[in-house]
Amino acid sequence: MEWFDKAVVYHIYPLGYCGAEKNNDFNAAPVSRILKVQDAIPHIKETGFNTIFFGPVFESVAHGYDTCDYTKIDRRLGTNEDFARVCRALHENGIKVVLDGVFNHVGREFWAFKDVRENKWNSRYKDWFHLREGNSCYNDGFYYEGWEGHYELVKLNLYNPEVKQYIKDCITGWKEQFDIDGLRLDVAYCLDLNFLKELHGHCKWLKNDFWLMGETLHGDYNKWMNPEMLDSVTNYECYKGLYSSFNDLNMFEIAHSLQRQFGPEQWCLYTGKNLYCFADNHDVSRIATILRNKEELPVVYTLLFTMPGIPGVYYGSEYGIEGDKKNGDDSLRPEFVLQEDNALTKHIAKLAGFHGQSEPLCAGSYRQLQLLNKQYAFAREYNGQAVVTMLNADNAPFTFNVNMGGAYEDILSGETFDLGGGVPVPAYGSRVFRKV
């Protein structure tokens, strides 16, 4: 197993987390807001996370995904030295650092595109983008491709060797300055597959255990996740099942997805692979908002941390904070406020701490044991070890019968049961067993 197979990820959207202004003032001096992350390191460690995935940190126009300069930390967050200090502190505490690699597009203030806007067809950077005769909605005097109709996001020409080399040089710089351990590739489903192969070679040359994880939505994830490209991708199929199985009281939905993805049958798609799994992120409503019955929130996290995959928690969701996508992205990306741990935080801490140390959860097989509309049990097995998960989404207790003989300890309650007999699980409760 590589380190990322054992990763338990804490996802930070830095501009929101640090309370930065919505729009960048390129005349302003840097403000060292990113140092705020250092203050939260004890909380991050105590809650069981061993990896931080930072959303965009580089100079941008507004939200971070409209990059202006891949070599400079956004002045609203501070300086390169500030971020290097944060990364050193994280590494000293045993926490890996993963950055957002936004390589499909840049902002209109990106230095090379500014040259194109000024010099048009005479710019030496004109082939860095997808230009055509015509005009843009900004009256540039030429047409260019934007990401999915968003023309403030200028699509890079990833077939151009100069562009690819520039990106690789930037990643090398991030490794040298910040000692990064991996990248999450924004809109990986849009990236040229040959570019992904080149990126794979370069990043594995920088560090042979460099983690490459890509944002994908639907389809066969093996297209992007394979030995020549990405180590992992976002599991949006199971993201939907994570909440709707509880909202609809239909555990068959998530069970079907997991069986299809990770079951023992030869046709199962991703058996033996680790997808990145999450209950919410910077693009979707918080799980505490979208879940109709808040009492089921701990059970959702039990499922997230014990199903196949690398679990990730979006900052603040460990407290159960809310945020609704219909109110705009800003509502999903608030300034982080360190709070006292509550029951949910403590529940997640138990799950996260156990996950990072459990070989069955990090690399084990998946086997369904019992399934009803409101109840679900499965086993993860590796090298003779087993972890058994039981989930009850009902408002009444339920007794599971999984026929797994032997004494097992529930890591959540500390109780011991013989899984050869009936095991009671409280209403809106869950158990995670390891063999004694």
Structure tokens at 192: 């040229």
- The length of the chain, given as a count of residues: 436
Query: How many Å apart are CA 44 and CA 356, to the nearest integer?
Result: 14
Query: How many Å apart are CA 254 and CA 243, to the nearest integer?
Result: 9
- DSSP secondary-structure letter at 127? G
Tell me if residue 389 falls in helix, strand or coil.
Answer: strand
Query: How many Å apart are CA 225 and CA 230, to the nearest integer?
Result: 5
In degrees and rounded to multiples of 5, residue 367 shows phi and psi of -140, 125
In degrees to the nearest 10, what's the CA dihedral of 219, 129, 211, 200? 90
225-237 residue pLDDT tens: 999 999 999 999 9
In degrees and rounded to multiples of 5, residue 368 shows phi and psi of -75, 135
- CATH 2.60.40.1180 range(s) for the chain read 366-435
266-298 residue pLDDT tens: 889 999 999 999 999 999 999 999 999 999 999
Tell me if residue 262 falls in helix, strand or coil.
Answer: helix
pTM beyond 0.95: yes
CB–CB of 280/233 below 8 Å? no
Q: Which of 287, 270, 291 is nearest to 278 (CA)?
A: 287
Query: How many Å apart are CA 368 and CA 381, to the nearest integer?
Result: 11
Query: How many Å apart are CA 268 and CA 308, to the nearest integer?
Result: 13
Sheet holding 365-371, edge to edge: 365-371, 375-382, 385-392, 429-435, 407-410, 416-418
Residues 6+ apart with CB under 8 A from 317: 279, 280, 286, 287, 288
CB–CB of 110/48 below 8 Å? no
CATH topology assigned to domain 3-363: TIM Barrel (3.20.20)
Look up the CATH number of domain 366-435: 2.60.40.1180
Tokens 């000293």 -> residue: 92
Structure tokens at 207: 């560090």
Partnered with residue 137 across adjacent β-strands are none
Residue type, 177: Q
pLDDT in tens, the chain (436 residues): 899 999 999 999 999 999 999 999 999 999 999 999 999 999 999 999 999 999 999 999 999 999 999 999 999 999 999 999 999 999 999 999 999 999 999 999 999 999 999 999 999 999 999 999 999 999 999 999 999 989 999 999 999 999 999 999 999 999 999 999 999 999 999 999 999 999 999 999 999 999 999 999 999 999 999 999 999 999 999 999 999 999 999 999 999 999 999 998 888 999 999 999 999 999 999 999 999 999 999 999 999 999 999 999 999 999 999 999 999 999 999 999 999 999 999 999 999 999 999 999 999 999 999 999 999 999 999 999 999 999 999 999 999 999 998 899 999 999 999 999 999 999 999 999 999 8
- CATH 3.20.20.80 range(s) for the chain read 3-363
Q: Which of 194, 19, 113, 60 is nearest to 202 (CA)?
A: 194
